Structure 1
């Protein structure tokens, strides 16, 4: 009998620590890391000895000693870049009282919230991702404490969970690198804000990807876009507002780098486009906008000004308000050619036909 057959090579009973470390380094999911720690004592010890694990910090601000937890994890994260996720959870039957819980939390844990803010400020240079899903009164305490530079920040998400009116102006007091145009990380900063209207300082120059979900206040929106002149992508999802006037805004905003623009549920897009210049626009998406003659005229002007760059157009079903179901008169006597458009999608919006009849798409490869 062959010796190799009689005595097969013994399998290692455990993975080497360097292999386990490599698994952790390749994992971006903190929940998966915790599951790894349940495999055996070696894996748990290896995980707890890795700064990768401690650099991903989840804080529930309705649990005790959230400030102490942050201090504990920061101490063990070494010099790694940080992903910090803060949220305030509540039981489903408490949702009707959620607007009161924020004031209660501030009243009961004010000192802990301030300590939390000071700890956040102490590690701002290592923020890579920061998420605040908590009450507006808490956010209004934390943000002013953290005024300063966050040079490594790539993802910022802010959402008041108490669902205020959506028109509150929220000052985001972060500062850009000293020379924002030469900083290697400035080209990939994504910011998402919901249920609030942001007010950026010079920090807006760092933002390249912006997602806003707030009340339709055209003036606030224009000021926000004006402060974010380096945007590459922009997603605007508007909540209905009774006041859509444009107040105290003069001149035009040239978004020279904006390539992708998505607008959802906006009542008067013409009041936005009247002030925007989009010379580099490549893709535009309209979702559930109010389809009026003024809106179509504004879209026509966008097509015309972006004629040499636009390659993709998506128009989905109309919004709740429109002039009537009778197609308005043609916009122009001559059709407009969009030679670079290869993707054109229209779904559930018969009112778009007068606009589409006067657009020529000679190089279209995909249409739905």
Structure 2
């Protein structure tokens, strides 16, 4: 069963929150893709976002595993399906797959899921137990799996050594996620982001790191509750340090820093050329008709400098485009952002026309005098 994708809210009359962006409930230019590009290119801290997304994926993996396990139990004991309550089915509600800041309802569901996974090691329907030989004892300590294991992608029935047509393993043939996959996912997060010297190490409080390492390596836990503290810490850090800048960049502007720098250079050069040409034409006593050509460099220079100052290309915004990487554009689909950018574009154009008119009038209408 595939989890339905969240539907963007196109009637939102405000800027989105970080939770809505991460839950894929927004559209360009304030969608998750744009936020990822911003974290990678401007904040230089995309590892934090990747950690948060990997933990969310781990939560979805656990939920899918439990959902498949529940389905296999109902296949073997159909009478349990009649007694299933709405409260228990909430554990498998796809709407909880979206990760974000902890709230009481979602936290309760996450705790139930984690408690189920912790107790699953002793269940006869667990893929791990179904893959054990008949001679294994319940108290025997399991070997510690790693995410480099070649069996992490195998189905439960293959782990048990039975053929696809043999149903003696006690698990449903429809299983697509094994318990080893969950363990591998938890260890991969630990070894990729959290251990000192990891490939993409992120900075977290030492207490949180020690608690996660102890839970995974010593207690053998792999439930999503292990990462709750780190996930909330990273979310709050992104909400405090990165998200306001993202909104300023994408909801109040539509160009990226390299484009802003290019406009600054072009604007300064154009204004320098415009002033130089204006004084030359005045002191060589050229006619006012000839001096009307000064409108071009003045307009280009002022337009480029105002665009740099506003972080906004007015004509590009009015055309409905926003830049996500240098010279790469996508359409503005978020209605409130489109409305906001249109207002700022009109304001910027007003400044451009006003300043341009003043400078052109001064240097065109002033009497010429040949030196």
TM category, shorter: under 0.3
Select the structure of larger CA radius of gyration.
2
Normalised to the residue count of structure 2, the TM-score between the two structures is 0.21
- TM normalised by structure 1 equals 0.21
Structure with the bigger percentage of helix: 2
